[in-house]
Homo-oligomer: A and B are copies of this chain.
Amino acid sequence: MSTHASDKHLLYKIAKAYYQDELTQHDIARRFGLSRVKVSRLLEQARQEGIVKITVVPPPGTFADLERQLEARFGLLEAVVVAPARYDRANVVRELGQAAADCLMRCLKGREILTMSWGTTLRATVDALPSRNWPHMTVVQMAGGLGRPEAEVYGSDLTRRAAQALGARSRMIPAPGIVASKLARDALLADTHIAETLAMAARADVALVGLGALTPDSVVLQVSSLLTEEQINELKALGMVGDIALRCYDAYGRPIRHEVNERIIALELDQIKRIPRVIGVAGGTGKYESIRAALRGGLINVLVTDDRTATRLLSEPDSHRAER
């Protein structure tokens, strides 16, 4: 199939003219007395035969290739991998927050709706946000806070602070994330402001979420005394490996059917899935299963994580899909 020496000569001349002298295909065609299509085809051939070599030099000290593999394997829009200086939780979270903030800022123009959950990682993200003046942006809370005073740090306050940093309007959910009964939940959802806030969150352009895991230091497990030991065990028995905005999912990112769901005030997983850009931030020890599940289930399409977790995610040759 490959052409022979005499032609390579022509391929070389044309490739040089195109890639080095930056002539247009049209000009080259005129000079060499060929048709434009032919020049196009010869260039294609020159690329295929390796006469033209295009290399992209990886910048040192980054994990661009790791990112590319993650993107390819899990169908992500983007993956961001950071290399924490130390792997203690505090530092990992801080560096993840920085990276997530960068990643978020890059895709914001100042006129969109951003919805976010809360958690320690998102707290770090908000801390890393630069200040802007975007009056046309709105930051919307995605899930109720926790029913305690100190929980405010992880509830509405994060949304408020994010909006403040960006000079944006904010829209909070003045309610706990988990209430005592379905009845109480329904009552709160009947509130116009809460309902509208959730509706707005559902049609956000970008979502920023942390990925919860079943680790002992998990905010949900620690703080929310509304989940009894028994209920937690039930959820585990149903396969729960993590949560996004209090919505629990199994190892394949599928929502877990459990009574608890009906007492939660937050976007549902399906609603989150429909948001065009869902940035999931999580890393460090213990988050692996939850991240893997969120990726498998397509719950997020942008992942910000650390290099160890990234490597581990790529090391397993398993399937993305749940078997039926």
- The reply to whether the CB of A19 lies closer than 8 angstroms to some CB of chain B is yes
User: Out of B32, B51, B55, which one reaches A78, CB within 8 Å?
Assistant: B32
Chain B residues whose C-beta falls within 8 Å of the C-beta of A52 in the assembled complex: 54-57
Chain B residues whose C-beta falls within 8 Å of the C-beta of A32 in the assembled complex: 77-78, 106-107
- The reply to whether the CB of A192 lies closer than 8 angstroms to some CB of chain B is no
Interface positions, chain A 104-124, Cβ under 8 Å from B, are 106-109
Chain B residues whose C-beta falls within 8 Å of the C-beta of A102 in the assembled complex: 6
User: Chain A: how many interface residues by the 8 Å CB criterion?
Assistant: 43
Report the minimal beta-carbon distance from A304 to chain B, rounded to whole angstroms: 13
Q: A22-66 toward B: CB 8 Å interface, digit per residue (1/0)?
A: 000000001111110000000000100011111111110110100
Q: How far is the CA of A52 from the CA of B46 in the complex (A)?
A: 18
A64 and B12 in contact, given A19-B56, A32-B77, A56-B20 (Cβ under 8 angstroms): yes
Q: How far is the CA of A106 from the CA of B108 in the complex (A)?
A: 53
Report whether B20 and A77 are in contact in the complex, using a CB–CB cutoff of 8 Å: no
Seed contacts A5-B61, A9-B59, A16-B56; 6 additional CB < 8 Å A-B pairs: A8-B62, A13-B78, A15-B56, A51-B56, A53-B55, A53-B57
